[in-house]
Amino acid sequence: MSARLTPERLITLPAHMRRPAYDRALVQSGIVHIGPGAFHRAHQAQLIDDILETDPRWGIDVIALRSRETINALRAQGGLFTLKRLQEGTQTRVIGSIRRAFGSQEDPEGTMMTLAGPQTRLITLTITEKGYCLAPDGALDLTHRDILHDLAHPAAPRSAPGWLVAALARRRSSGTAAPVILSCDNLEDNGRKLARAVITLAGQTDPGLAGWIEAQVLFPRSMVDSITPASDAAFLHQIEAELGVRDEAAVQREAFTSWVIEVGDAEPLHVLGQAGAVLTHDVEGHALVKLRVLNGAHSALAWTGLAMGHSNVAGAMGDDWLRAETEALIREDILPGLAAPDGLDLQAYAASVLTRFANRSIVHLLSQIAWDSSQKLPVRLLGTVEANLAAGRPVERLSRAIAAWMRFVVRSAREGARLTDPLADELIAEARPCTDDPDSDTTRFLALRSVFSAALAQHPHFRTAVSRGYRDMLDLERGMRPAQS
């Protein structure tokens, strides 16, 4: 096995390999990022790496609230990791923007010090939808077990909102300026929902703190976009062969990347804008297009593709039936309910999404996209369903995608496969009694109020469409292709 990637071994890398073009010893920590998963490392950490070439004030401290695997890998490598951009003529570079890595459970005081310290002017988050502990209506779920813990033990939080409240309380008491807090997750109206969650949690025990947060802390909305496949063993082996050293934190992404941020009068935002982030007053429009077109179609493709025996996105797009289904879903069912933000050409955007899905340089596993589906389904597809029902537009293909998710859960239950989802136990319990009867099986799933609102679940046209879509999915599992709507 090769030696590990470390700062000392940068000089041993192949001469063509791009590496940090600045003195890392001079870098200061100006940003804290919560949730240092592959997306953050492949996307935002690279943009910050570019900034550090001219401005050393914006190094990143990362915090993991749960898993320590990434934290341990980054620590062993002095914060370094490799990024491969997948396109014709792939490009590989070593990123050095991460300075320190903290696990909140093993080092709570270090975590608090970096969140609350005056050097930290920007706090960013990529914790997935479930990390915000929100109820179906988008407000903070005060019955969530982590929120209940944080209310009982505010000085030893578990949730992201809990850590933010505790850090802001320390800043307020010490007279430290408030940071900008920037949600970067695929959550509609993410900045507003995060602000509401943090203020609500603070107000449960300290109304004065809640008022200070509301007056002093900027929570911009944002949208991020770049397909980032999982770093599996084959990819890590490929990186080791290319670099001559082992990198357990290496990541890969497509060449396309976008970071759209709501305009605000704060230096961290201006710095990000100068580095290539798009600053706009219409983040909501950009985010909604991306969430419903790219993310919604991605999830639909994953659930349906898995039912058909496909394993990755590009392979699924090579299936003529599934590609036509995906294109029709986007162009005929999703786009008509969207308004183009800032002059964006929706049809051109749809074409770019389909091209990105078909990129064979990327092996993006459908199983990875299917993680946490109970949290993704409401924000990625159900909003479009509700809008289409209200406007009298079709919901048949959308309903077929929803039925594909139901069948994905049923197959997981029957095969004893691990379901990566915060509602895994509840979903498996609902799936086990399913008998492959479209009406009874879909009725069981539609009764899940943590996923479907009562109004939508009881809508007769929707119920009929989901049941019909479920029957179509049974045919697909048997190798038969239903007629496309």
Domain limits of the chain? 7-281, 284-477
Residue 237 confidence class, pLDDT cut points 50, 70, 90: very high
Give, in words, the CATH class of 7-281: alpha beta
128-149 per-residue burial string, b: 16 or more CB within 10 A, e: under 16: bbbbbbbeeebebbeebebbee
Indicate if the pLDDT at residue 480 is higher than 80.
yes
| Residue 316: count of CB within 10 angstroms of its CB | 24
Mean pLDDT for 345-372 is 93
Indicate if the pLDDT at residue 383 is higher than 70.
yes
Indicate if the pLDDT at residue 239 is higher than 70.
yes
Q: How far is CA 136 from the centre of its chain?
A: 18
Is residue 108 left, alpha or beta, with left meaning phi > 0 and alpha meaning psi from -120 to 50?
A: alpha
Q: Residue ranges of the alpha helices (H) in 175-222?
A: 190-205, 207-216
What is the tens place of the pLDDT at every residue in 303-333?
999 999 999 999 999 999 999 999 999 999 9
Residue 362 confidence class, pLDDT cut points 50, 70, 90: confident
What is the pLDDT, as a whole number, of residue 485?
66
Q: How far is CA 260 from the centre of its chain?
A: 15
Give, in words, the CATH class of 284-477: mainly alpha
For the whole model, what pTM was predicted?
0.78
* % of the chain residues with pLDDT over 70: 99
The CA–CA distances, whole Å, from 453 to 294, 388, 389, 392, 449 equal: 23, 16, 14, 19, 6
pLDDT, mean over the chain? 95
What is the tens place of the pLDDT at every residue in 415-450?
999 999 999 999 999 999 999 999 999 999 999 999
Name the E strands within 58-200: 59-64, 81-86, 91-95, 98-103, 122-125, 180-183
Q: Judge whether 183 and 175 are in contact, CB under 8 Å.
A: no
Largest CA distance in the chain: 66
What is the pLDDT, as a whole number, of residue 344?
82
Mean pLDDT for 10-27 is 95
Fold match flag (7-281 vs 284-477): no
Mean pLDDT for 358-364 is 87
To which residue do tokens 């389909």 refer?
354
To which residue do tokens 């009867």 refer?
437
Q: Judge whether 36 and 74 are in contact, CB under 8 Å.
A: yes
Q: From CA 441, how far away is CA 409, in angstroms rounded?
A: 11
